[in-house]
């Protein structure tokens, strides 16, 4: 949405074009009392004032967060309404839905792979497969990558600052030493783990090599690269189009873990 020109009233079509919404949507917002234009012409045409436009801008912002129009109305008009609480409830609802959809997706992916060569009509064979698939629930649901660090506290700050991950948290023992770290990265979480002789886990800095790496899909590979470079990470190679269909760059974190950031080309 472009910056509103002050002092100008707009008709519904102009506002629709400027906001990317449809005329019908603006009609509807008036109908439910969410955005009632300040005036009408004699012929009944809607005239939106500056403050109407400002209000629409806020509506649009909250819509993008997935709030219902009813909740948006309350957030804008009821001073006692706690937006943070509403967003919290909303995010939990979203997580519930995501969990369901991930399960469903896992089942469907398995199913389609199993179907592989069959013709595609609903035969008894296919029904048997379906049945087994639907019952099957020893399925993996989510994946958490754990990376080993000698100094997880420094690593935590590095990953937040340089790669832009987060939110997350550090867990400490009674003595105040960090024993565990968690950071949001993409669609899930990355755990930071201490080195451990018992489990044969070491930082790449100690070993001189890594046994795993993490690739992260981002929307703007070059933008992310600029940020990483500016923040002083060791660049392994700058963004380039790879033959396997991704634009990708690669960098090391403070203890030598290899990260790559990529986006599918078209």
b/e per residue, 45-55, with b = 16+ CB within 10 A? ebebbeebbeb
The label of the residue with tokens 């990265």 reads 185
Residue 137 sits in the site that holds its own copies (CB under 8 A): yes
Mode of pairing for the β-strands spanning 178-185 and 188-194: antiparallel
**Closest distance of CB 140 from its own copies, Å:** 4
Question: Which position among 25, 47, 191, 235 is part of the footprint of its own copies (CB under 8 A)?
Answer: 191
Contact partner, 64, from DNA, its own copies, none, Cβ < 5-8 Å per class: its own copies
Q: How far apart are CA 1 and CA 24, in angstroms?
A: 18
Residue 93 sits in the site that holds its own copies (CB under 8 A): no
- Comparison of 60 and 157: residue with beta carbon closer to DNA: 60
CB 33 within 8 A of CB 48: no
Footprint of its own copies on 22-41 (CB under 8 A) = none
**Closest distance of CB 24 from its own copies, Å:** 23
In 3D space, the residue among 157, 159, 154, 153 whose CA is nearest the CA of residue 185 turns out to be: 159
- Comparison of 108 and 207: residue with beta carbon closer to DNA: 108
Half-sphere exposure of 189 (CA within 13 A, CB side): 12
Interface region with its own copies, contact rule CB under 8 A, candidates 2-10, 12-20, 33-41, 105-113: 105-113
Interface region with its own copies, contact rule CB under 8 A, candidates 13-21, 23-31, 37-45, 120-128: 120-128
């Amino acid at each position: 949405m472009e910056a509103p020109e002050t002092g100008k009233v707009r008709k519904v079509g102009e506002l629709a074009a400027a906001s990317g919404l449809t005329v019908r949507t603006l009609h509807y917002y008036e109908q439910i009392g969410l955005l009632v234009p300040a005036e009408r012409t004699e012929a009944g045409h809607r005239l939106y004032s500056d403050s109407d436009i400002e209000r629409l801008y806020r509506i649009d912002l909250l819509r993008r967060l997935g709030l219902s129009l009813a909740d948006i109305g309350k957030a804008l008009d009821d001073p006692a309404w706690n937006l943070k609480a509403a967003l919290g409830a909303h995010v939990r609802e979203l997580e519930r839905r995501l969990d369901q959809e991930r399960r469903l997706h896992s089942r469907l992916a398995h199913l389609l792979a199993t179907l592989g060569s069959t013709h595609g009509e609903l035969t008894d064979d296919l029904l048997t497969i379906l049945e087994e698939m639907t019952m099957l629930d020893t399925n993996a649901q989510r994946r958490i990558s754990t990376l080993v660090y000698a100094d997880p506290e420094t690593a935590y700050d590095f990953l937040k600052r340089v790669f832009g991950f987060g939110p997350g948290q550090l867990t400490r023992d009674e003595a105040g030493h960090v024993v565990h770290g968690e950071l949001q990265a993409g669609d899930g979480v990355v755990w930071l783990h201490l080195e451990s002789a018992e489990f044969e886990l070491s930082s790449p800095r100690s070993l001189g090599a890594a046994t795993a790496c993490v690739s992260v899909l981002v929307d703007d590979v070059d933008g992310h690269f600029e940020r990483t470079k500016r923040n002083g990470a060791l660049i392994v190679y700058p963004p380039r189009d790879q033959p396997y269909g991704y634009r990708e760059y690669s960098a090391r974190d403070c203890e030598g873990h290899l990260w790559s950031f990529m986006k599918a080309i078209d």
